[in-house]
């Protein structure tokens, strides 16, 4: 297994996971700033305002399949891209290099499952991440 690029595959998988966290939080920050600007002008109790904003943001993520699906597609594309780059030129092990890139975000997303609770979407997410990594590895040029 001399064509295995463990360091590059693990680092690229970690990079994709960190970027996915940032992408996941962008709508929450934008919505929070919009709500704070609109509601915060005449607020007397900032703790109650913060609680109201937290509840609305939680509701935003809770019932919005479009937001979660969009994130899933964006992260799958990032995994495919990075897996293809890492696996380029690794001949027979390119599928495994790509799979490792996809396995890192899949495994790290399970850490969040342990904190927040299990859902069917977590299984779908892991399968999509692993599949994107595998396909990215297979799509890489062998030489």
Domain parsing of the chain, residue ranges: 6-23+64-139
Tell me if residue 43 falls in helix, strand or coil.
coil
Tokens of 54: 């937290």
Report the predicted TM-score, pTM, of the whole model to 2 decimal places: 0.86
Is the CB of residue 9 less than 8 Å from the CB of residue 101?
yes
pLDDT of residue 2: 55
Asked if residue 115 has pLDDT above 70, the reply is: yes
CB environment 62-85: b (16+ within 10 A), e (fewer): eeeeeebeebbeebbebbbbbbbe
43-69 pLDDT per residue, tens: 788 888 889 989 998 888 887 888 889
């Amino acid at each position: 297994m001399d064509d295995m690029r463990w360091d590059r595959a693990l680092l690229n998988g970690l990079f994709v996971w960190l970027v996915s966290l940032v992408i996941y939080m962008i709508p929450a920050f934008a919505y929070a700033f919009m709500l704070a600007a609109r509601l915060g002008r005449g607020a007397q109790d900032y703790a109650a305002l913060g609680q109201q904003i937290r509840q609305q943001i939680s509701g935003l993520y809770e019932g919005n399949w479009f937001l979660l699906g969009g994130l899933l597609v964006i992260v799958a594309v990032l995994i495919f891209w990075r897996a293809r780059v890492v696996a380029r030129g690794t001949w027979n092990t390119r599928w495994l290099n790509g799979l490792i890139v996809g396995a890192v975000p899949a495994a790290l997303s399970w850490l969040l499952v342990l904190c927040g609770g299990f859902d069917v979407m977590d299984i779908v997410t892991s399968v999509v991440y692993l599949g994107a990594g595998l396909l990215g590895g297979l799509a890489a040029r062998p030489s």
